[in-house]
Amino acid sequence: MRCVAPATVSPQLSPNDQARRLGRLAARCLWHELALYPKPGLVSLRDRGAHNDMDAAVFVRSLFALRPWFVELACAGARRAQFGELRSLGIRAERVMLAATLGANTHRGAIFTLGLLAAAAGSLSARCLFPTDDGLRSTLVAHWGADLAIEWRTADAPSHGSMMAARYGAGGARGQAIRGFPAVFDVALPALRNAVARGAGPQRARLAAFFALLESVEDTNVLYRGGRAGLAFVREAARDFARSGGPFARDAYARADALHRTFIDRRLSPGGCADLLAAALFVDAIQTAVE
């Protein structure tokens, strides 16, 4: 597929180059999420977290397999494609992911979240508009919000998120998308930017964003594994981490590592927060031209 709209976030890039840039940044942000440690309960370059069916090598295969599909989604956004086309691309991307991982669900939520944001960024670049927070959110909601709401109500393919939505009333990824990803723009990005403003390096700033998400998000992966009690534990642990100085405390990494071990013991894996962190890093990257 070729982009047919004159998309430029960086004016010197051709439409196809701009889409490739967005796809490259999406995959790179999935890498940054994977590389972050300690990240309680989740797979990293250090260990498998609370998972026994996947490790870092599986995640790397997945993110490389998905990069071309984020390019496709950015191209579709540049054309203001209908939601049905985005959905079809996402389904095909998921099949490629599952083939690359031998069936492990590494990035299903990220395909949805980052895919929509890549499409929104593609749409803005086609109009030579900078991808501000408000611009990305309003584009997503205006172009695909109504179809997302219908999809949320009528989806017949079961997932952990849909099951937890039915059982607990949690919005999950679709609920986030319908509202323009408040967890990304109102929680993770402010925490990331505030940490950077205070002099934090990339790892500490990403840790700040991740723990902000743990504290506020109804993570359907946590609900699936631990129910309401598990979610309450995760949120209280994140609040306690923040009260103790958060990522700026002298013992921040030791405390986060101890939580990681506890999450593993409880089999808690906040995969939804991981996807939202990658999405926040993607938005930050396309705005700051960080490669």
- The residue extents of the domains of the chain are 15-288
Which pLDDT value is given to residue 151?
Answer: 75
Only one residue has tokens 């323009």, namely 180
pLDDT tens digit sequence for 234-265: 999 999 999 999 999 999 999 999 999 999 99
**Rounded percentage of the chain residues whose pLDDT exceeds 70:** 87
Which pLDDT value is given to residue 12?
Answer: 58
pLDDT tens digit sequence for 77-122: 999 999 999 999 999 999 999 999 999 999 999 999 999 999 999 9
Residues counted in the chain: 291
How would you class 130 by CB atoms within 10 Å of its CB: exposed for 0-12, middle for 13-18, buried for 19 or more? exposed
Taking phi first (over 0 means left), then psi (-120 to 50 degrees means alpha), and beta for anything else, what does residue 41 get?
A: left
Confidence of residue 166 (pLDDT cuts 50, 70, 90): very low
Which pLDDT value is given to residue 256?
Answer: 97
> Between 285 and 168, where is the model more confident?
285
- CB-based contacts of 55, cutoff 8 Å, min separation 6: 43, 47, 48
Which pLDDT value is given to residue 157?
Answer: 52
CA-CA-CA-CA torsion for 169, 175, 181, 186, nearest 10 degrees?
A: -30
Which pLDDT value is given to residue 160?
Answer: 53
> Between 7 and 204, where is the model more confident?
204
pLDDT tens digit sequence for 12-64: 566 678 899 999 999 999 999 999 999 999 999 999 999 998 999 999 999 99
Which pLDDT value is given to residue 3?
Answer: 45
Confidence of residue 152 (pLDDT cuts 50, 70, 90): low
